[in-house]
Structure 1
Amino acid sequence: MKEFKRAMTFFYHYLKRYKPSFVIILVMTFIATYLQVKAPEYIGNALNELVKYATKFQILKAKHLPTSGASKDAFVEVIVSLILFYVFSSAATFVSSMVFSRINALSTNRMRIGLFNKLQKMQIKYFDRHSDGDILSRFTSDLDNIYNAMNQVLSQIVSGSALLIGLLIMMFKKDVQLAWVTVASVPISFILAWIIITKAQKYVNLQQDEVGKLNGYINEKITGQKVIITNSLQAETIDGFIGHNENVRKATLKGQIYSGMIFPLMQGMSLVNTAIVIFFGSWLAVNGDIKKSVALGLVVTFVQYSQQFYNQIAQLSSSYSMIQLAITGARRVNEVFDEADEVRPTDGVALTGIDRSVTMENVDFSYLPGKQILHDVNIEVDKGQMIALVGPTGSGKTTVMNLMNRFYDVDHGAVKIDDVDIREMDLDSLRSHVGIVLQESVLFSGTIRDNIVFGKPDATDEEVIAAAKQAHIHEFIETLEDGYQTKVSEEDNLFSTGQKQLISIARTIITDPALLILDEATSNVDTVTESRIQKAMDNVIQGRTSFVIAHRLKTILNADRIIVLKDGKIIEEGSHQELLEQEGFYAELYNNQFVFE
């Protein structure tokens, strides 16, 4: 019930601005409903007029009188009225449907935009803890389910509910006894439907969660397909897919089985109810409780009412699976909206550059409670210095970088620039002065120029070329037919890993960052490409305060200071030569690397 209330709040948030359109829908629904509930009455009247005509015709014929005295005009008038009723009812339903479609398209578009905007404001930890496929499934599967439910079910709920109310009013107005007979079995139908719905709900929720996991698995394996092929892991990957897909199949099958039981159950109850109405209507007519002159028409009218009534219950009940998918989709989208945004001080200090130093003071940090990563880390970097961070995997090197850029906040202590805690700074101002080159280079769809100016859209051609030259990628770009206008996409293999990295470095250079972070920028390339990237990095680092993470120690021999991390603690610190002379952990790392090389 809590999930249902939250889903209704979610839908209301996006639908409330369309109140005038809903007024039109309600008016059209009222017209269509009135015409539909009146139609069975006209069918009954038509049948009564036909009986009158047939009776009078037989009497005149038996008396050898002219049969022209038996007029069919009253019957024809009723039939014409009935046709007009259905025509106007269909027109009103069409208008209502068109307005609903417009509301649906606009509201789901706003949901999609809102969800994407929310992702741009969220903390980096959300993306670290959720797979790309799971996030993507909220845009695709979940929003698609919401769209389908709103498009097909919402109008059905409004029109169906109105029609049920209208039918009840008309039935009790027409004949109270037959009305009670018609609705007597409804509570039994609702109880049976509720039992089935409760069973189905569990598996519909599970289905969407498993779809998210499956999408995450597919995305991960497609991204790493080359690694899979290289290591001949296709069979194992297929087995993993089959396992995830089987979980989706089981949840979907059980959900569909339970959801699929509702409509045939309601259809069966409708047939039983129709038989009950015919039996009691006939019984009432035989016992004189209903005038025999109108008995046939009245029974036929209530048979129509009974069928319409149960058809609406059946349609509303059978829509449950779509409704539940929409509710589940709303829950999963709400989970994203429930996540905290990055903390952005409204009156944060604007960073204009680094005048003195960057420091970490007594920093403790953990990604998860109880699993501390950094322990009392103290680092001070003067303006213009290059600091290298080395250590084994899991020692906390990348975590230091995450804290410098405020992807995460420290648990204890502080990260400061010129003695100002970065938590007190304007976040956009901080990020605009920090440049990062990651281990995995990322190029966006567009042109090479678009990628270089990504962080500075107003850059001139001269600035673009200057950045590319500093990154040692200009000459390669010039060899391409379209030069800087060469298209970049996920589908092509135009660029090597090293070339992508050099473009990423050019993208960083053009923003002229005051603080530079290089996170193992040469770890995925060969030694020749590494040399080119190293030259580009030297150009970027020159005159800037910089942090460099490196596994290949020969790339940081010229660092002003090398900080050695192990198990989240600083165990050694000094220049390359000083650390070699200490003959400690760094010296062991360095000597082991050169032995293997």
Structure 2
Amino acid sequence: MSNSQERTRTQRRRGPMGHGMQPGEKPKNLKKSVKQLAKYMATYKIGIFVVMICAACSTVFTVAGPKILGKATTALSEGLMNKIRGTGSIDFQKIGMILLFVLVLYLCSALFSFIQGWIMTGITQKVCYRLRKEISEKINRMPMKYFESRTYGEVLSRITNDVDTLGQGLNQSITTIITSVATLVGVLIMMLSISPLMTLIALIILPISMGLIGLVMKKSQKFFRSQQEYLGHINGQVEEVYGGHMVIKAFNREEATIEEFEKTNDILYDSAWKSQFLSGMMHPIMMFVGNLGYACVALTGGLLAIRGVITIGDIQAFIQYVKNFTQPIQQIAQVINMVQSMSAASERVFEFLGEEEEVQIAEHPADIAQVTGEVSFEHVKFGYNPEQVIIHDFSAKVKPGQKIAIVGPTGAGKTTMVKLLMRFYDVNSGSIRLNDHDIRDFNRRELRDAFGMVLQDTWLFKGTIMENIRYGRLDATDEEVIAAAKAARAHHFIKTLPGGYQMELNEDASNVSQGQKQLLTIARAILADNKILILDEATSSVDTRTEIEIQKAMDNLMKGRTSFVIAHRLSTIRDADLILVMKDGDIIEQGNHEDLLAAGGFYANLYNSQFEDVVA
């Protein structure tokens, strides 16, 4: 195992207690996230403006309803009084016209509310689509070190949970806030037009309400942040456990895995119930304050009606307005929960979008088409962490078409050299050159097009075998794919599978054996037809007979191409033009197989140890 692999697995074992995952962590700069979100929303400012107009129209029609309805109550009460006195009767026609007019108002209000919701839903979905698209594009520009220091589930949570939470928050909170604020303003105007004294009494509840909302919000914000964080960590653990459930069972690590999951789940539970409990307190508190104000208004209105200052219809309308006045405050209190979750989710999304990127395009890029396969390492120094250098002074020169074997004990830096060659990481000092150009002079994507790779850890995706092989060169014909499979000695076993080349592989390709997976990835590399090949333990998962067949195919493939072969089984690289023997990040020996054996050094001991008889 290379240093990077060990470092990655160590970081993954740390699980949810890694960097930035302390329970009760204080929220970061939410204002900055809100500003960034506002920039995304600014693209749809016309639609948002229409939403605001619709919200205003809907509110106007809703707010006007109670006062007009109060006129019907006044007409009814006056008619009853006239009938009792014998001076007149109830004007049902007038009351009917008023009720019909109110019905039209409420229908118009519902129509504008529907239009507002329809437009806002479209805007939020477009924002979510844009964010997911930018995250997907961002992933391709991010350095390898980011993914090697985080679990897969944590990264996936940014694309799924966080964007979903953000979308739901935008869709519901923005429309609710716009409508609630418009309702508050409209209701206040109507209340003042009926009775300034009763309005003053009703307004006393406003600072009390806002104070309680601010207090609960301050207490619950850190728990919402922690809840969103640990939701991502739970996803990471679940993804990791389900991906390696066979290994967990094989080593009887079920109890330890459950224990680790429960620790994370306990923190998530703790932050979730605290945030939900605190936010859930808002509604009953606001109901109590609202009912208190409601009682005061009813008492004052009755006294004013007795004195003849206002009519019975006005009291009815005002009481309805008081209810409508407290309702938007309660809605805002409820939506604060979602706003906090949305803020925490947007913060995580924008943190991801703000991560450091690889420089993809060189200032004056060299032409990759001129590369012939000549590679030179000149005093390369590298460490994943600057203070922990693992490759101290690596130098080697490779001629075009040569087969270069890199051997050495675990952790010597073999795979690290391949990562440097592909520019997954950049050297700390020194240089790696293709022909006469530093690899940093090439655009990254063009540079990687020059390399074909077959790794020890196979990767196949859900799709047909034909599609998986064609991934090496998307414009390849079916005949070319089949020819590549034949060259990789994979054609025979493919034809024995149900469906042949059209057989569907599942998500982890567990419906074919490990050796068959390796053959398919080799066929993919053959199809890609790159100038430089990198084979990292490419035959480690196949049996000896298949390995011999693959070696024959590889020999044909590597003719005329520069090839780097990392191998533990030294018998597979005896025909290499140059063998680089690495130990502790440095080349300690180099030469061909015969010369290194004759020297009797580290390589000779390493080679002979694989053929020593085991004495019981």
TM-score, normalized by the shorter chain, greater than 0.5: yes
User: Partner letter of residue 255 of structure 1?
Assistant: S
User: Measured at CA, do residues 356 and 110 of structure 1 come closer, stay the same or move farther in structure 2, by a change above 3 Å?
Assistant: closer
- When structure 1 is superposed on structure 2, of 421-430 and 274-283 the one drifting more is 274-283
1:269 to 286, 289, 292: 289
CA contact (8 A) 1:121 1:342 kept: yes
Report the equivalent of 1:428.
445
Report the equivalent of 2:14.
none
Report the Cα distance in structure 1 between the residues aligned to 2:141 and 2:217, rounded to whole angstroms: 37
Deviation per CA, 1:498-531, whole angstroms, max 9, x where unpaired? 1111111111111211111111223334434433
SS of 2:121 mapped into structure 1: helix
CA contact (8 A) 2:166 2:346 kept: yes
SS of 1:367 mapped into structure 2: coil
Q: Percent identity?
A: 38
Deviation per CA, 1:185-239, whole angstroms, max 9, x where unpaired? 2112111111111121111111111111111111111111111222232233222
Aligned runs of 1:377-456 on 2, under 5 Å? 377-456=394-473
Report the equivalent of 1:339.
355
Matched, 1:594 2:611: yes
Matched, 1:44 2:61: no
Deviation per CA, 1:45-69, whole angstroms, max 9, x where unpaired? 2222222112111111xxxx7x6x4
CA contact (8 A) 1:353 1:514 kept: no
2:376 to 359, 365, 368: 359
Report the Cα distance in structure 1 between the residues aligned to 2:383 and 2:37, rounded to whole angstroms: 37
CA contact (8 A) 1:350 1:430 kept: no
| Structure of higher RCO (CA pairs closer than 8 Å, 6+ residues apart) | 2
Report the equivalent of 1:22.
48
User: Partner letter of residue 38 of structure 1?
Assistant: A
Report the Cα distance in structure 2 between the residues aligned to 1:582 and 1:276, rounded to whole angstroms: 102
RMSD of Structure 2 on Structure 1 (CA): 2.2
User: Measured at CA, do residues 258 and 24 of structure 1 come closer, stay the same or move farther in structure 2, by a change above 3 Å?
Assistant: same
CA contact (8 A) 1:498 1:533 kept: no
Aligned length: 587
User: Measured at CA, do residues 595 and 214 of structure 1 come closer, stay the same or move farther in structure 2, by a change above 3 Å?
Assistant: farther
CA shift for structure 1 position 271:
1.0
Report the equivalent of 1:555.
572
Deviation per CA, 1:232-262, whole angstroms, max 9, x where unpaired? 3223322222222222212211111112112
Deviation per CA, 1:29-79, whole angstroms, max 9, x where unpaired? 12111011112212332222222112111111xxxx7x6x44333333332
2:316 to 275, 300, 304: 300
2:237 to 205, 217, 231: 217
Report the Cα distance in structure 1 between the residues aligned to 2:98 and 2:478, rounded to whole angstroms: 80
Report the equivalent of 2:8.
none
Report the equivalent of 1:310.
326
Report the equivalent of 1:128.
148
SS of 1:456 mapped into structure 2: coil
Report the equivalent of 1:329.
345
User: Partner letter of residue 48 of structure 1?
Assistant: T
Report the equivalent of 1:542.
559
User: Measured at CA, do residues 104 and 554 of structure 1 come closer, stay the same or move farther in structure 2, by a change above 3 Å?
Assistant: same
Report the equivalent of 2:199.
179
User: Is there any run of 5+ residues in structure 2 with no aligned partner, and where?
Assistant: 1-26
User: Measured at CA, do residues 31 and 376 of structure 1 come closer, stay the same or move farther in structure 2, by a change above 3 Å?
Assistant: same
Report the Cα distance in structure 2 between the residues aligned to 1:279 and 1:421, rounded to whole angstroms: 86
Deviation per CA, 1:152-171, whole angstroms, max 9, x where unpaired? 22211121121112122222
Aligned runs of 1:493-508 on 2, under 5 Å? 493-508=510-525
Report the Cα distance in structure 2 between the residues aligned to 1:196 and 1:536, rounded to whole angstroms: 69
Report the equivalent of 2:13.
none
CA shift for structure 1 position 24:
2.6
SS of 1:435 mapped into structure 2: strand
Report the Cα distance in structure 1 between the residues aligned to 2:613 and 2:365, rounded to whole angstroms: 50
User: Partner letter of residue 342 of structure 2?
Assistant: A
SS of 1:594 mapped into structure 2: coil
Deviation per CA, 1:377-436, whole angstroms, max 9, x where unpaired? 212111111222222322221111011011111111111101201111122221111111
- When structure 1 is superposed on structure 2, of 563-572 and 413-422 the one drifting more is 563-572
User: Measured at CA, do residues 585 and 7 of structure 1 come closer, stay the same or move farther in structure 2, by a change above 3 Å?
Assistant: same
1:473 to 484, 490, 494: 490
User: Partner letter of residue 262 of structure 1?
Assistant: M
Report the equivalent of 2:12.
none
- When structure 1 is superposed on structure 2, of 33-42 and 44-53 the one drifting more is 44-53
User: Measured at CA, do residues 549 and 172 of structure 1 come closer, stay the same or move farther in structure 2, by a change above 3 Å?
Assistant: same
TM-score relative to the length of structure 2: 0.90
CA shift for structure 1 position 142:
0.9
User: Measured at CA, do residues 161 and 106 of structure 1 come closer, stay the same or move farther in structure 2, by a change above 3 Å?
Assistant: same
CA shift for structure 1 position 596:
6.6
Report the equivalent of 2:23.
none
Matched, 1:6 2:32: yes
CA shift for structure 1 position 576:
2.7
Matched, 1:373 2:390: yes
User: Measured at CA, do residues 557 and 176 of structure 1 come closer, stay the same or move farther in structure 2, by a change above 3 Å?
Assistant: same
Deviation per CA, 1:117-158, whole angstroms, max 9, x where unpaired? 221222222222222111111122111111211222221112
CA shift for structure 1 position 83:
1.9
SS of 1:362 mapped into structure 2: strand
CA shift for structure 1 position 346:
5.1
Deviation per CA, 1:451-496, whole angstroms, max 9, x where unpaired? 2221311113332222112211122223334332222222664321
Report the Cα distance in structure 1 between the residues aligned to 2:566 and 2:138, rounded to whole angstroms: 31
User: Partner letter of residue 109 of structure 2?
Assistant: S
CA shift for structure 1 position 99:
1.6
User: Measured at CA, do residues 167 and 382 of structure 1 come closer, stay the same or move farther in structure 2, by a change above 3 Å?
Assistant: same
Report the Cα distance in structure 2 between the residues aligned to 1:470 and 1:509, rounded to whole angstroms: 8
Aligned runs of 1:61-140 on 2, under 5 Å? 69-140=89-160
CA contact (8 A) 1:350 1:426 kept: no
CA shift for structure 1 position 585:
3.0
User: Measured at CA, do residues 311 and 113 of structure 1 come closer, stay the same or move farther in structure 2, by a change above 3 Å?
Assistant: same
Deviation per CA, 1:424-449, whole angstroms, max 9, x where unpaired? 11222211111111111111222222
CA contact (8 A) 1:36 1:86 kept: yes
CA shift for structure 1 position 276:
2.2
Report the Cα distance in structure 2 between the residues aligned to 1:515 and 1:573, rounded to whole angstroms: 20
Deviation per CA, 1:294-333, whole angstroms, max 9, x where unpaired? 2433333222222111111111111122212211221111
Report the Cα distance in structure 2 between the residues aligned to 1:356 and 1:199, rounded to whole angstroms: 62
